[in-house]
Structure 1
Amino acid sequence: MNQSWTQRQRPERLERRIEFTDYQDTRNFLDKLNTLSQNRERFPDISFGRTYVNLTLHVKDNMSSLDSLDHDFAQQIDDLL
């Protein structure tokens, strides 16, 4: 897994903060993330400001822990950058 994601416990999740230089870069990333999320039918928790985005990937309802698909999705998000 990319070093930019942090794996946390209780509940198990992946977290990442991404910094951008300006609002337009933030907005462009969010638009790309929207398309990826729609295509994958996977929707991270998102909070954002003018020049940052915080993402959290939670364990899916029917899973007990993160799996390779969660880490693959995290990598696909990284690839948007």
Structure 2
Amino acid sequence: MTETGGHPWRERARPLRLERRVEFDEYEALREFLDKVAALSEETGLYPNLSFGRTYVNLTLFADEDGETLGREHEDFAQRVDDLLAGPAA
């Protein structure tokens, strides 16, 4: 994966959510990443909001329906996205 930069996950309020922006060198790397996130969503049942352009994606994970808590599943999903970006373990 040719991620060129991005930002760590940030917790935001109103509404409560986790956000991360990831930038890529080229569209093909972005497309590959989006496919992996889609597979992760199917596996976990957690579907982030995605907005993307040619070489970047913004991911947003909103709090549970009560709007007051980010659960362990949100943290785990965020970590697994980070792992996708890091690539296979050496």
- Give the alignment's TM-score, normalised by structure 1: 0.91
Aligned pair partner of 2:25 in 21, 24, 45: 21
Partner deviation per Cα, 1:25-72 (whole Å, 9 max, x = no partner)? 000000000000001011000000110000000012256311222111
- State yes or no: 1:77 paired with 2:81: yes
For 1:51 and 1:64, the matched residues in 2 are separated by 32
How far apart, CA to CA, are the structure 1 residues paired with 2:66 and 2:16?
Answer: 13
Q: Does the residue aligned with 1:38 lie in a helix, a strand or coil?
A: helix
Q: Are 1:7 and 2:8 counterparts?
A: no
The aligned counterpart of 1:31 is: 35
Letter in 2 for 1:49: G
Letter paired with 2:15: P
Which secondary structure state, in structure 1, belongs to the residue aligned with residue 79 of structure 2?
helix
How many pairs align?
79
Distance 1:63 1:55 in 2: 18
Unaligned runs of 5+ in 1: none
Structure 1 CA distance for aligned equivalents of residues 28 and 65 of structure 2: 34
Q: Normalising to structure 2: TM-score of the pair? A: 0.82
CA RMSD of aligned residues (A): 1.4
Distance 1:43 1:51 in 2: 21
If asked which structure has higher relative contact order (CA below 8 Å, sep 6+), I would say: 1
